[in-house]
Structure 1
């Protein structure tokens, strides 16, 4: 920068920070869209041993470049009963270490590799139609932009080294590490990424703007801020999920504050961690999270017990009746009325998702209270469906011969029908199958149970994608959902063949649970198809659908 003009400096730094956040998000969404099911399977399959669970969390965080993303995934598993609390906490602790490793990797100066990453990434994204290859291109582009953003940040902050104002501010923070800690936490919370925050702090230290003690306090604050992000994002989650995230907050936040006190009172020699302030900060970040993970694995049981006391089961309270989004006064304005109908269908879909999430837990251990809650939700969905049909019928009479509005009405009516059918499948078919298994005292084979859980998790992820699509109406997301529908069909057929192979081998558990296993797979496929149908009206509008298939020209 040729000038230290405050406005110009802030513009450059803000632009670099914005690009960094976008690039990190680009990598994360690329991994999620391309390999979400594989990641989820990895996390769920690691629950048996704490250390293996932690290492799985580390790997997932390295791929997603976010411990928060892993924590949200794990919270969903816990809420559905697919993961016990201690295993989930182990995964989250490993993810914290993974995010620290990511920061170290991204700080390597590789300016020469940026054009190679961009060339390969853009080629894969634009010239291939296979989803995994397109998402690999997206990840490579994101990595290149991360390196560009860090270069921009170095260039923007370089001239500040000799600024007297900066020296005064740093001198103050050097005498008040708690303020530096608070700044680090607030910055991580503000940018919603502890990885991005640590990258900024270490880059500033490398440019000579942050002494090691000040930077260390900020890095510790970023660890607390990172734990707070997941905590706030899961405030409305199930109690079991909130307990895991609260346990991680207690461990990570408590450890950060403890190390800050040691740093402030004892002033340990940070040069033991490296020769430069930047090296000292990143090594401190990695060592902190490594030690935290190892200690947390040992203390997981008592910490989870403490979290259970901190997040107690709520006392039963009077419920306020849900207000329908179907506004009769909006019927005179078709666009507004369609928006009201879409909001109500979204609420309907969220109720189906709420039914789908815990249903597999009933296959493992029957719980009448949970089953009754699912039945009650299904009854509510039936009422919502009737109301939506009547509302759309009234709207049809009021719009006359407007073909465009008529097509949109029909599309919403079809989505509502499919979601209502999905709710019935869960409430009737799947609950009856789970109850039958309980009544007969049957047990699935280990392979069969793992297959059912993985398939259920994949369908649940698609349900969430379908509801997101109902809000965004994004054609790219619609295409991905239809592709995933075909993949679900192929996987279901493959799992049916695997089950038949176990029957040929004479596996007693497979024989006893054969009908339950096969019917559950078919039921889950039907639920998945219901959510995938949300994509078809969007793709029909964009011309991406042939008579019965996704156009080969898309992508």
Structure 2
């Protein structure tokens, strides 16, 4: 076989392996992502549970990068400290090595069965979860087929003089070999795929053992880079765990590289098979890092907090979405969490917009009015970004619960943008008319303005909490507060009309602006309170279903009872 054919076969095998890994990761996250998130969240109570949680989740996902992004999401929401996040990622690193251990054995005989089962399951599935189970089996079958193809394709490398010259040259350049391994892993975005590829080369005798070990070190270093880069635009808390994990791996590579030549003979004492020696080295390296750094996650967390300090001043990031990471789209739960985080930031902009409007209205401040208009453009940018992100997520089949959450987020952001439109097109115009015509309001009207503005701001804050938690009592409270604002608005209108009837000299411009303001505030209240109704309706439907079930059960028991004689 000529060199070109060998290269094409290797590239095809690697591509097939990466695609199989992607299918397994996507299938697991889409089928069980919510459960995996709950497991990981539950395990964040101490460093050892965090380690085990990261290990278990990664063995299922077959991707430490996916676990890292999930951990970064928890950290960004304040659910996990930097030290606990580092412990999770140490477990994730060990988890990938255990997957590599399993795949290092010849399991190619399982590939046809997995492909057949996966195809049948995926083609005949009626539910999203069943379809994703088929995707998982297909991905595993593809991975095993790819490994077999790589073994066959890498065979001629052993007899290639050019290849042997290149590898023998690398034997004297361990630093360069580590860099090459890191670059390959970074491009592939999978340390597992790189290690498996190295195993196939070692198994066919195509690469010296010392070069393979150095490339494994590079694969571990390169595997820590994608999560660091993927969270660069995130907030400080979400960036710290990936950075801590990278520092752990970098330390391990720097310490081990000078004595790498002494490692090979020790590995040979454990197993004679060169391929098994390499995969054992991969496991022992990550296990050693975990056993050492698990006791220093606290200082490591503090170090990352110093390297990435919390920003104390505002930045441009506050005026644009920063959490809509496209790499998270493979995990619906992670993508939805990212969308929620930016929706809440959008809400912060809207809350400030209302406060500025209230001050501008009370003081006829044109400068603040310009800031209100600028905030409306920011809200439009948030809404467009979140909608585009969730639209792309929705192109794949989602679980019913994820589909509902996706719709809720898009509906809520649309309502927030509509609120911004009311503020700019209606309320801001009322402020301008007040200033240009030098309108003065009665003491009673000013009291009503402040009361309704304060009630609206309180409802706005409560709507964000309802949107985030979907808590039924808070939803019911928001609906109650909406009705209270509507009653207050009606009372204010009636009081104003009564004063208008008694005082024939009242300014007509003042009256029109006052009534227009009250009407617009009521419209805004209706829009922000709409987030509560689906939650309350779900509760009512659930209660009705329970009553029907009890009634049906009671009827069934009555039918089965013998008639009294």
TM-score interval (norm. to shorter): 0.5 to 0.7
List aligned pairs for 1:153-552, cutoff 5 A.
153-264=150-261, 269-314=266-311, 316=313, 319=316, 353-355=340-342, 375-376=351-352, 468-471=389-392, 474=395, 477=396, 479-480=397-398, 482=400, 484-485=402-403, 517-520=471-474
Report the alpha carbon displacement of residue 472 of structure 1 after superposing the two structures with TM: 6.4
Q: For the structure 1 residues 100 and 375, does the alpha-carbon distance in structure 2 shift closer, same or farther, using more than 3 Å as the test?
A: farther
| Residue of structure 1 equivalent to 2:13 | 16
Matched residues in 2 for 1:227 and 1:34: separation?
26
Report the alpha carbon displacement of residue 108 of structure 1 after superposing the two structures with TM: 1.9
CA contact 2:390–2:406 (8 Å) conserved in 1: no
| Residue of structure 2 equivalent to 1:47 | 44
Deviations 1:292-333 (A, max 9, x none): 112121010111111111122346366499699xxxxxxxxx
CA contact 1:89–1:244 (8 Å) conserved in 2: yes
Name the SS of the counterpart of 2:105 in structure 1.
coil
Q: For the structure 1 residues 90 and 202, does the alpha-carbon distance in structure 2 shift closer, same or farther, using more than 3 Å as the test?
A: same
Q: For the structure 1 residues 387 and 167, does the alpha-carbon distance in structure 2 shift closer, same or farther, using more than 3 Å as the test?
A: closer
Select which of 71, 94, 109 maps to 2:68: 71
Q: Which has the larger radius of gyration?
A: 2
Q: For the structure 1 residues 85 and 147, does the alpha-carbon distance in structure 2 shift closer, same or farther, using more than 3 Å as the test?
A: same
| Residue of structure 2 equivalent to 1:7 | 4
Select which of 87, 90, 93 maps to 1:93: 90
| Residue of structure 2 equivalent to 1:342 | none
Q: For the structure 1 residues 483 and 208, does the alpha-carbon distance in structure 2 shift closer, same or farther, using more than 3 Å as the test?
A: same
Report the alpha carbon displacement of residue 354 of structure 1 after superposing the two structures with TM: 3.0
| Residue of structure 1 equivalent to 2:497 | none
Name the SS of the counterpart of 2:224 in structure 1.
helix
Q: For the structure 1 residues 200 and 351, does the alpha-carbon distance in structure 2 shift closer, same or farther, using more than 3 Å as the test?
A: closer
Deviations 1:378-418 (A, max 9, x none): 99999799779999xxxxxxxxxxxxxxxxxxxxxxxx9xx
In structure 1, the gaps of 5 or more residues are 325-348, 360-370, 392-415, 421-462, 490-514, 531-555
Matched residues in 2 for 1:131 and 1:78: separation?
29
| Residue of structure 1 equivalent to 2:491 | none
Question: Which one is further off, 273-282 or 374-383?
Answer: 374-383
Q: For the structure 1 residues 94 and 374, does the alpha-carbon distance in structure 2 shift closer, same or farther, using more than 3 Å as the test?
A: farther
Matched residues in 2 for 1:390 and 1:247: separation?
36
In structure 2, the gaps of 5 or more residues are 322-335, 357-370, 408-468, 479-527, 535-565
Report the alpha carbon displacement of residue 350 of structure 1 after superposing the two structures with TM: 10
Report the alpha carbon displacement of residue 238 of structure 1 after superposing the two structures with TM: 1.1
Select which of 118, 138, 141 maps to 1:141: 138
Matched residues in 1 for 2:43 and 2:117: separation?
33
Matched residues in 1 for 2:43 and 2:380: separation?
48
CA contact 1:355–1:377 (8 Å) conserved in 2: no
Question: Which one is further off, 273-282 or 93-102?
Answer: 273-282
Report the alpha carbon displacement of residue 516 of structure 1 after superposing the two structures with TM: 10
CA contact 2:158–2:207 (8 Å) conserved in 1: no
CA contact 2:82–2:304 (8 Å) conserved in 1: no
Matched residues in 2 for 1:467 and 1:74: separation?
24
CA contact 1:66–1:99 (8 Å) conserved in 2: yes
Matched residues in 1 for 2:288 and 2:475: separation?
42
Q: For the structure 1 residues 202 and 243, does the alpha-carbon distance in structure 2 shift closer, same or farther, using more than 3 Å as the test?
A: same
| Residue of structure 1 equivalent to 2:416 | none
Matched residues in 2 for 1:525 and 1:273: separation?
66
